[in-house]
Amino acid sequence: MHPIHIDDMDFQNFKEILRSFQNQKIFVLIDENTREFCLPLIQPILNNFKIILIEIKSGEANKTIKTCEFIWEKLLIYQANRNSLLINLGGGVLTDIGGFVAATYKRGINFLNIPTTVLGASDAAIGGKTGVDFKMFKNQIGIFTTPTAVIINADFFKTLPIRHVYSGLAEIIKSALIANKDLWQVLLDKNVLQIMNWDHFLNESVKVKTDIVLRDPFEQGDRKLLNFGHTIGHAIETFSLKYDEDPLLHGEAIALGMICESYISLKKLSLSQAEFDQILEYLFNHYHAYDIDPKSIDDIISLMIQDKKNTDNQINFTLIRKIGEGVTDQFIDTKEIRKALEFYIDYINTTY
């Protein structure tokens, strides 16, 4: 498992890693947002090294092979070799695509993830998954690979719009629901706007993920636990990207997915009504309702059928038996999925 440095004070670990590459070509992958808000935090350190910046456009819509081609071309022009280092400075989209590019250029160059969002720090930048979207389907092209390290510094989070903070919080909530009931209890007592120190939440969330990944690095068993909320959530995210002028952020879609998949857990497993109600209230208190036209349910389900986690054309879910206990490989038929989406629609129509 790659080193993960949380709350890297004064970026000491980052400085040490850079010194080890001081005789090699060092590239920094950014987008327009990280260039403006995040690059200045590490620029004084970068000034001591010869750095080549590569800038791409932000957003899930740009997480494509075309963007990879642009980065590969830049690496080629500046003669990057297998000893070079690519620093991925950004959120989940950027670390996903940067890791994939690094793993495939010249069959693999070194890369370092510096997540600048709560989402990236709690999930996307760790665990060794990389990839890009293809034909509107999430992460269809990708590879498992290992970064040199992950540097997490909560100072970056101060640059985030609150909507992106909530988006990242969804992955921390997921970690609590599948494997850490104590973390769930802490979350219940905290409003995200009151969280000034992210160390505890990130440590607990990262521990859940790293423990699972160490047991199952290539998603053959336990790592599927991390997919809770993502089967329906990814389909909703893809649907929103296709049809909405202001699409849902990843965490917003996953929150919706966790509501629906908790409902399925209530109906198909042993999740209690009391715990389901607690999850429902918490998620709706933190995330806006998303208006789904009942006529769109068939389209959303058809997107789930393309999910890479499926087996033998069966839609594969991770559900929860109770808060803190996830269970994998739950094959749910489309009738049950439809009921979950209809529950969500009915709930927001009667509540909001």
Task: Examine the pLDDT at 200 and tell me if it is beyond 90.
Answer: no
Distance set, CA 78 to CA 52, 64, 71 (Å): 8, 22, 11
For residue 310, the 8-state DSSP code is -
Is 316 in a helix, a strand, or coil?
A: strand
Q: In sequence order, which ranges of the chain are alpha helices (DSSP H)?
A: 12-20, 32-37, 39-46, 65-77, 92-104, 118-119, 162-179, 181-188, 199-215, 230-243, 250-268, 273-286, 297-305, 334-351
> pLDDT tens-digit profile of 164-184?
999 999 999 999 999 999 999
The tokens describing 211, both together, are 């423990």
Q: What is the pLDDT of residue 194?
A: 59
Flag whether pLDDT at 10 surpasses 90.
no
Per-residue burial over 286-322, b = 16 or more CB atoms within 10 Å of its CB, e = otherwise: bbeebebeeeebeebbebbeebebeeeeebbbbbbee
Residue 63: pLDDT over 60 = yes
Which residues are CB-neighbours of 338 under 8 A, at least 6 positions away? 297, 301
181-199: average pLDDT: 78
pLDDT (average), residues 40-63: 96
**pLDDT reported for residue 45:** 96
Residues 227-245 have pLDDT tens digits of: 999 999 999 999 999 999 9
Return the percentage of the chain with pLDDT > 90, whole number: 84
For residue 93, the one-letter residue type is V
Structure tokens at 179: 């494997």
Label residue 137 by pLDDT band (50, 70, 90).
confident
Mean pLDDT of the chain: 93
Residue 314 vs residues 259, 305, 308: alpha-carbon distances, Å: 21, 8, 11
pLDDT tens for residues 268-316? Answer: 999 999 999 999 999 999 999 999 999 999 999 999 987 766 666 689 9
Question: Could you tell me the domains of the chain?
Answer: 4-159 (3.40.50.1970), 162-351 (1.20.1090.10)
pLDDT higher than 70, residue 246: yes
Q: What number of other Cβ atoms are within 10 A of residue 273's Cβ? A: 8
Comparing CA positions, the residue from 111, 92, 105 lying closest to residue 26 is 111
**Comparing 18-32, 88-102, 120-134, 250-264, which segment has the lowest mean pLDDT?**
120-134
DSSP string, 226-289: GGTTHHHHHHHHHHHHHH-SSPPPHHHHHHHHHHHHHHHHHHHS---HHHHHHHHHHHHHHS--
pLDDT at residue 305, as a whole number: 87
For the segment 97-110, the average pLDDT, to the nearest whole number, is 98
pLDDT for 37 = 96
d(CA 348, CA 295): 16
- The Cβ-side half-sphere exposure at 189, using a 13 Å CA radius, reads 7
**Is the confidence at residue 86, as pLDDT, over 80?**
yes
Asked if residue 196 has pLDDT above 60, the reply is no
